[in-house]
Amino acid sequence: MSYENMNKQIISAVGGEDNIQSVVHCATRLRFVLKDESKADDAAAARIPGVLQVVKKAGQYQLVIGSTVEDVYNDLVKMINIENDDSYKSTPKEKKNIFDTVISVITGSIAPAIPLLAGAGMGKVLLLILTISGLLSDKSQTYQILNLIFDTGYFFMPAFIGFSAAKVFNTDQYLGAFMGLVTEHPIWTAMVAAKKPVDFLGMPVQLIKYSSTLITAIISVWIMSYIYKYVKKYTPNMVKIFMVPMLTMLITAPLIFLVIGPISNMISEGIGFISMWLFHNAGIVAIPILAAAYPWFVSIGIHKALSPISIQLVATQGFDPIIRVVALCSNMSQAAASLAVGLKSKNKKLKSLALSSSATAYLGGITEPALFGVNLPLKKPMYGAMIGGAIAGIVASFMKIKAFIYVTPAFLSLPMWVSKTENFVIQAIIVIIVASVVTFIATWMIGFDDPVDENNQKTKFDQVHEKHDLKSPVNGKIEPLSEVKDETFASGVMGKGIAVMPSEGKIYAPDDGVVTATFDTGHAIGLHLDNDADVLIHIGIDTVQMNGDGFKQLVKKGDHVKPGQELVDFDIDKIKKAGYDSTVMMIVLNSKDFLEVLPVVTKKDEEKDVTTNSNVIVLA
């Protein structure tokens, strides 16, 4: 199947090919790093058929696609040319806090390597099953070669991480891979194995095994990116081709062995110690809480930030008793909640989507279709999933189950719970059953607003998945609500919305609806729109003190209104002469009832003219 038309819309929505710094994909999402995120059109992206959700987090512009994401990605990369260069660096970038920056680096460095690591891990499990069943001897050369093949995925993991981290830090990717490989050179591994003192220029070098590590590679490439930039800037052009990489190696590699590696190793050991302490001493609390919260981590795209902990535990301890266990509880709960919806709903469209999404989650552990397509839009099934995930987490913590490879937990990946000496497959199945039964019962009992409409009108479920555009209530210049000089409106406490500096004194209906509130002062009007949005249109700041002077209401409470119908006349000059701000605010008071309320305005659009035909808010 070709995704050319879909990708054309995606490229346009993210601000064009020139605005794409990099793009990778995980199991369900396209993860863009954009040069200027303000150029992206969130509303247009959310309307693209096949896009389940737009998520902006940690410096990434994420489009949730679902199980077809790899095919979409493969078609996308054929249509664009995004070779790294330095041209984008002149573009001002949005400042991110430290947390977002760290999450961005982790996800950008690890996400491209996860399919490879999962494949290599399942290959190791396959070998284990073959030897346990007696079909293959672990003394045979066939076994040795297959073991070598699958070991490569984890043994040389620093190189894979270094390569992708270099893309995140906008430096040479081959040098990034080199910095990972230098710690895996046979001479170094022999030195570590020999355990004899080693020094460099008289300075002692700690003997640390770096295979299967993440943190050292990421920090090394981060530091290398600055060294590379500095060396490249001051090296004469005639010798750059060899001098730049040589000097970068000469400076960075010794730093890895002397400073970066030991510090990174301390961080890795600290993560392992804390994780194992939680497992042994607080698992009964930590695992259920994380299992209940995990779907929300997925919804905002930061669940990948937990991947290094899981990978590090598998590499250093030989197993992960926390993160993969939490993912198992959460994944199966999402699947069960979607199953309950599919079996209980009378709506054919919802039933089909829920059952197929449940199957995808149960078999492959891919929960985004269930999460974004069913449970999150309907809201109440999320409560059932959280309850089931937490109860399953308690059961799992009592049984102290362990995952021995990093892969997405599901039925098809049950071998991940087996090692040469331990087998937790039965325990994993028990957790799956508990998560499924508890979640199913909880979801069934809590219920949900079943989108059945006997009059063949649009159901609530259809409305949740449909995009609704609200028009501007007034002609003028648009600005973000956060820029309004009134903290109540600017803080968003009343709801999301937009502001317009009016160029004429007429307020119009943004969509079909009913007038629900009028005021004697005429300075505001409330509407309940047919798309279930409760909207407040407020004219000016503190204009209630004008006691209606300069305002004329043209409709009354209970009136039905059409898009573009005039609602209020007001005198801009009178407002200004009275010393008040004439800015018009339109607020969606029940913003929390929608999956997304997307104001079509950024700081860059502050001087943009809008008319009553302009779409200024998208509801999803």
Write out the catalytic residue numbers: 26, 538
Tell me the residue ranges of DSSP E strands in 179-331: 198-200, 203-205
- Measure the CA angle with vertex 478, ends 601 and 95; round to 5°: 40
CA atoms of 451 and 454, how far apart (whole Å): 10
CA atoms of 45 and 54, how far apart (whole Å): 7
Cα-based distances in Å from 453 to 259, 338, 353: 66, 21, 17
Q: 440 is written with which tokens? A: 């199913």
Q: State whether residue 480 is helix, strand or coil.
A: strand
Pick from 55, 73, 74, 75: nearest CA to 64? 55
Q: 364 is written with which tokens? A: 């492959």
Q: 467 is written with which tokens? A: 């995009």
List, as one string, the DSSP characters of 387-434: HHHHHHHHHHHHHT--B-S-S--SGGGGGGGB-SS-B-HHHHHHHHHH
Tell me the residue ranges of DSSP E strands in 417-519: 468-471, 476-480, 496-502, 506-508, 513-518
DSSP letter assigned to residue 205 = E
CB atoms within 10 A of CB 347: 18
- Measure the CA angle with vertex 572, ends 571 and 573; round to 5°: 95
Pick from 520, 517, 582, 583: nearest CA to 547? 520
Q: 285 is written with which tokens? A: 């609390």
Q: 464 is written with which tokens? A: 């949740």
CA atoms of 107 and 32, how far apart (whole Å): 11
Q: Which residues pair with 587 in a beta bridge?
A: 497, 536
CB atoms within 10 A of CB 618: 21
CA atoms of 512 and 124, how far apart (whole Å): 60
**Could you tell me which residues come within 8 angstroms of residue 401 by beta carbon, excluding any fewer than 6 positions away?**
321, 325, 417, 424, 427, 428, 431
CA atoms of 115 and 70, how far apart (whole Å): 11
CA atoms of 523 and 274, how far apart (whole Å): 57
CA atoms of 195 and 420, how far apart (whole Å): 28
CA atoms of 140 and 244, how far apart (whole Å): 46
